[in-house]
Amino acid sequence: MTQNEINTLVSVLNESGWPVNFGWSRAPRFFYDPAQLWAPRRKISESDRYIVFSPTHLLILEILDDGCLGYMGISVVSLKDKKRSTQIYQWAFPLGAFDMPPGSETGSVRLERKKSHLDFVTMEGGARIIKADFPKFGHHRSLRGELVLSEPAEAESLVTNMPWRREKSAFRYSRRSPWYIAEGVVQFGTSEIIFTKGNAWGIFDWNRGVRPRADVRYWAAACGLSEGRQVSFSVGYGSADSAQGTENAFFLDGKLHKLDQVTFHINPANWLLPWRFTSNDKRLEMTFTPHQERLERNRMILYSLTRRQVCGFFSGKVLLDDGSPMEFQNITGFAERRKTQF
């Protein structure tokens, strides 16, 4: 399949507020102004999410304004004893009140609820700071800490602008950067979760767009070291039209190697059995050994958001753009199915 790589700055929207210029790029080369959208505010979706992990824990931190549902949440998953804790706060019809930045390279967002707050701060030079303070975080514990995420030198991201076939106003403009180097400490109850350079990683999942009436999306990402080099990937598919640019790429030391279509082979009866991932261009073959599963359901009147998430370890082989093979073993990552309906 021929994909449309965007190499110059283009607009996500035309003068009438309809989505245009579909494809993918290695950097945020799309200009997006939500004020231009013709769509009602209840259909506009904006989310910033980080998946950060150390050798012992995986954290999912997210701020979401999905028009009908507002969301601030953190999940802590232990990779040692299969324990997990989640704290979520919801808002009805935030409709842009979170003031999410329209671009992924600048701007910050902060939410506060019941003396808890979550901050995503973008610094000059590409570094990101995550600050969290949840005095009551399930089971009468607290969670607070600060993480710094830094970029590899000359890193590239997978940026896509994708439409829906049957809903001409719907689109998803997204950026996936699965290669951040994480450092910091999170105090969780009486224990400390320590993130040190070379042993801890961060994945940035950023999305803006107009929701369709219903959407199903599969996504997986991971990061780690193989033979002293940083390897990572972001792969996914769903009901959006990926004909002009898939959401699939492998990264070596932050450099992007583009993939075509990737299929998730999952045992529907048991998601904790090993998965397989294959690509139609024969460049990717990998297995996923799940560690534990998390199910999340959110509902607001007629709107629903459900996510089935699995964390674990990925191993496999990929052919890089120059045809050379790269193998990796047991890098930590995460996979999910996300379903929305209104």
* 125: alpha, beta or left? (left if phi > 0; alpha if psi -120 to 50): left
Q: What is the pLDDT of residues 240-270, one digit of tens each?
A: 999 999 999 999 999 999 999 999 999 999 9
CB of 267 closer than 8 Å to CB of 287: no
pLDDT in tens, the chain (342 residues): 689 999 999 999 999 999 999 999 999 999 999 999 989 999 999 999 999 999 999 999 999 999 999 999 999 999 988 889 999 999 999 999 999 999 999 999 999 998 999 999 999 888 999 999 999 887 778 999 999 999 999 999 999 999 998 899 999 999 999 999 999 999 999 999 999 999 999 999 999 999 999 999 999 999 999 989 999 999 999 999 999 999 999 999 999 999 999 999 999 999 999 999 999 999 999 999 999 999 999 888 888 999 999 999 999 999 999 999 999 999 999 999 999 988
Whose tokens are 């997006």? That residue is: 32
Q: How far apart are CA 217 and CA 299, in angstroms?
A: 18
CB of 38 closer than 8 Å to CB of 110: no
Q: What is the pTM of this model?
A: 0.96
Q: Which residues fall within 8 angstroms of residue 52, CB to CB, at 6 or more apart?
A: 58, 59, 61, 130, 147, 149, 180, 182, 195, 200, 201, 202, 203
CB of 280 closer than 8 Å to CB of 289: no
Instruction: Give the chain's mean pLDDT.
Output: 95
CB of 261 closer than 8 Å to CB of 1: yes
